[in-house]
Amino acid sequence: MTLRYLILTALALIFWADPSAVAAVPDVCYAVGPTCHTDWFNLGSNGTIPDENAATAKEDTTHRYRPGGSGPAGPESELRKKRRERGGVMSLATVYRDVNVQRDADYWDYDTLEVSHSDLSRYGFGKKIGRGTFSNVYLGVDARENKQVIIKRLKSKMDMRKIRREIKVLQALSGGPNIIGLLDVSQNMDTGKTSFIFEYVNNADWRELFPTFTLDNIRWYLFEVLKALEHAHKNGIMHRDIKPHNIVVDYPKRKLRVIDWGLGEFYHPNKEYNVRVASRHFKGPELLVNLRDYDYSLDIWSLGCVMAGMVFKKDKFFEGADNDDQLVKIAYVMGTKDLDAYVAKYGLTLNATQRAIIGERSRKPWIKFKNEDNAHLYVPDAIDLIDRMLVYDHQKRITAKDALAHPFFDPVRDGNDLEASSGIVDDNGKMDDIVIDL
């Protein structure tokens, strides 16, 4: 006799004696499809959700909760329960909410992904062009194909789960507009270290590129990034680290790629995600106030920061010294009235440090950031788009799809420049090589 059988029998007896007593059953529910499931009552002994329409419930491997892993939302955290007690709204994506609910687990389940490797000896290493916490990046050559590539060599401390996740995300987005192409996953047979092999883009340093951009250059750049984000979002994926460093451009050839999908994640409704994502100066307010059920709109805030930096000619439009100070810098521009309304709506609270430093601030009009250097970029449509991206309440931000239809992009939407989204074709009908500089 299983524990589950005893629990269900006890509940049946309680209900027979007093039907109203069922209200005592915990009411924390998680969306795992069209129905709502109480986490411990409806889950089978193997942690799966029974098929309520079947005469005999069978294991549902499509929507299985794994603690700390891929897949649907699991038991609610204490933080989220407190938000409920305060009357806070539980956040859900306003678009593409059920993309991964409606797809088989094979699409988003990176925990069970079996990674096959080629032999790294196929690739020759060139100069080191980038480094990060978990990887070093090199120019390389594919000896078999005789073409340039980018080699992202992962460090030994890299979590295998994160490796699987990045591969799964890149596989899901493969061939999409302006998504960097993963060509191969390779392994050093002596050390066991994994390397990602990417297509090659002759990237210009954004610090040198941005100061030269005209308004039309900015339009083209942002439009191409938004196409990549819309493709990701409609396929149920958040990037979670949009910043100039992760957007590479060969501008003379009009080639742009969104790179570094290492923090990319599949969106599941009601799932609580790690807020320690995105680079500090591009973090959305949701991360800074510890709202964990965020969604695709995080990428829109980050891109809004990029756009504001380009238009107002500031490398980092919100430049905080740490995460608390980052929220302070945002509040100095966006004001505290909307910030207070935001945290109250979602049942959140600011920490003591944030509250003490921020105080009360009025919102600054965008005109305050206009000066002689950026006046030629300060046009109504640009300011309106920034205003729709940089909104405290993530559910009220413009979506990538709607942003693509914004009047700011009218001059480039149907122009020849848009051919760059799928690459430039040379005289021989072959795609130009693409390079990444991280």
- Shared domain check, 39 and 124: no
Confidence of residue 428 (pLDDT cuts 50, 70, 90): very low
The predicted pLDDT at position 42 comes to 30
241 counts as catalytic = yes
Q: Who has greater pLDDT, 78 or 24?
A: 78
Q: What is the pLDDT of residue 65?
A: 61
pLDDT confidence tier of residue 320, bands split at 50, 70 and 90: very high
Residue 105 lies in a domain: no
Identify the bridge partners of residue 37 per DSSP, sorted by sequence position.
Answer: 30
d(CA 4, CA 26): 16
The CATH number that applies at residue 186 is 3.30.200.20
Of 276, 285, 180, residue with least CA distance to 231: 180
Residue 351 lies in a domain: yes
pLDDT band at 426 (very low <50, low <70, confident <90, very high): very low
pLDDT band at 316 (very low <50, low <70, confident <90, very high): very high
Task: Give CA torsion, residues 17, 22, 24, 27, to 10 deg.
Answer: 170
- Do both 180 and 220 map to the same domain? no
- Flag whether pLDDT at 423 surpasses 50: no
Q: What is the pLDDT of residue 213?
A: 95
Reading the block at residue 322, the tokens are 């740490």
Q: Please indicate, yes or no, if residue 69 is contained in any of the structural domains.
A: yes
| Rounded mean pLDDT, 273-298 | 97
Residue among 78, 77, 75 at smallest CA distance from 42:
75
Q: How sure is the predictor about 338, in pLDDT bands with cuts at 50, 70 and 90? A: very high
- Tell me: do 52 and 129 sit in the same domain: no
Q: Say what the pLDDT of residue 134 is.
A: 85
Average of per-residue pLDDT values in the chain: 84
Do residues 270 and 415 share a domain? yes
Q: What is the CATH number of the domain that holds 243?
A: 1.10.510.10
Give the model's confidence band at 69: pLDDT under 50 very low, under 70 low, under 90 confident, else very high. Answer: confident
pLDDT at 392 over 70: yes
pLDDT-wise least confident of 68-82, 379-393, 416-430: 416-430
8-state DSSP, 374: T
Catalytic residue among 39, 51, 104, 241: 241
Q: Which of 69, 87, 105 is the last residue of a domain?
A: 87
The residue among 243 and 131 whose pLDDT is bigger is 243
Q: Which residue did the predictor score with more confidence, 24 or 352? A: 352
What percentage of the chain carries pLDDT values higher than 70?
79
Q: Would you say residue 352 lies in a domain?
A: yes
Is 259 a residue whose pLDDT tops 60? yes
Q: Which residue has the tokens 């389940």?
A: 109
How confident is the model over 1-23, as pLDDT tens digits? 444 444 444 444 443 444 343 33
392 with 301, same domain? yes
**Gap between the Cα atoms of 205 and 369, Å rounded:** 25
- Per the structure, how many domains does the chain have? 3
Average pLDDT over residues 77-86: 96
Calculate the CA 353 to chain-centre distance. Answer: 27
Closest CA to 236 of 406, 426, 70: 70
- Contacts for 87 with CB less than 8 Å, ≥ 6 apart: 347
Does residue 384 register a pLDDT over 50?
Answer: yes
Q: Is the pLDDT of residue 256 over 60?
A: yes
Q: Among 198, 223, 246, where does a domain finish?
A: 198
* Residue 436 pLDDT > 50: no
Q: Is the pLDDT of residue 382 over 50?
A: yes
Residues 356 and 255 reside in one and the same domain: yes
Non-local (6+) Cβ contacts of 298 within 8 A are 238, 240, 277, 278, 284, 286, 287, 394
Q: What's the CA gap between 185 and 49, in Å, rounded?
A: 34
Given a cut of 70, is residue 67 above it in pLDDT? no
Domain check: are 68 and 133 in the same one?
Answer: no
Residue 219 three-state SS: helix
- For residue 162, give the nearest of 189, 135, 192, 202 by alpha carbon: 135
Give yes or no for residue 43 having a pLDDT over 70. no
Give tens-digit pLDDT for 128-162: 998 888 899 999 999 999 999 999 999 876 789 99
Q: Determine, yes or no, domain membership for 298.
A: yes
Task: Please report the pLDDT score of residue 381 as a whole number.
Answer: 98
Domain boundary among 87, 104, 133: 87
Regarding whether 259 and 123 lie in a shared domain, the answer is no
Determine phi and psi for 255, rounding to 5 degrees.
Answer: -120, 125
Cα separation values, 343 from 83, 84, 198, 330, 393, Å: 10, 13, 41, 14, 9
Higher-scoring residue by pLDDT: 354, 298: 298
Contact call for residues 233 and 96 (beta carbons, < 8 A)? yes
Task: Tell me whether residue 110 is in a domain.
Answer: no
Considering the domain architecture, whether residues 328 and 410 belong to the same structural domain is answered as yes
Residues 386 and 304: beta-carbon distance below 8 Å: yes
pLDDT at 324 over 90: yes
Whether residue 155 is found in the same domain as residue 217 = no
Q: Is the pLDDT of residue 419 over 70?
A: no
Nearest to 208 by CA among 315, 306, 132: 315
Domain around 82:
3-87
- Are residues 245 and 386 located together in one domain of the fold? yes
Task: Indicate the pLDDT class of residue 185, thresholds 50, 70 and 90.
Answer: very high
Cα–Cα distances in angstroms (integers) from residue 159 to residues 173, 238, 402, in the given order = 22, 20, 36
Residue 277 in any domain: the answer is: yes
In a domain, 247, yes or no: yes
pLDDT category of residue 176 using cuts at 50, 70 and 90 = very high
Q: Which stretch of 33-47, 144-158, 348-362 has the lowest confidence by average pLDDT? A: 33-47
Instruction: Check whether residue 265 and residue 313 sit in a common domain.
Output: yes
CA distances, 156 to each of 192, 303, 313 (Å): 9, 32, 39
